[in-house]
Amino acid sequence: MMIGSALTDLWLEQGNIDQARRHAAQFLDSTLATAERTWQALAWEANAHVASATGDPTRANDCVTKALAAIEGFDVPLAAWRVHATAAMLLESLDPASAERHWTLSRSTIERIADSLPSDEPLRRTLLSEKPVARVVADD
């Protein structure tokens, strides 16, 4: 599952949508064969990014809705912050109030993860300096 996630992200960054789509689909298939909510949510979120990159907002919205459903009622912060950030990005032009709610949920989840680590812990600084995390936190 980690490889599916990483390959999807890699191909998206390189602009190879066909490869990203293929790996995202495989990633999703492998996660849906388990009961693991974190990976299921991340796989749906990856598929939302692929759909967005292909100009398919309907599929992107469907995927992010399924990602949100996968985390609902579960304490899965490593997926939740990303899913909420993706939902916020997709909703920014359509529903700014909902987008802001998702940005807030993403930021608060990141803060909860960071606060679970001692303030002098190098991993805390690494987490907060990672580009996707820093983007969310900077929007505060």
Q: What is the pLDDT of residues 84-139, one digit of tens each?
A: 999 999 999 899 999 999 999 999 999 999 999 999 999 999 999 999 999 999 86
Q: Which residue has the tokens 């909703």?
A: 91
Burial class, 44, CB count within 10 angstroms (exposed 0-12 / middle 13-18 / buried 19+): buried
pTM above 0.85, yes or no: yes
Structural domains in the chain, CATH included, are 2-138 (1.25.40.10)
- Beta-strand (E) ranges in the chain? none
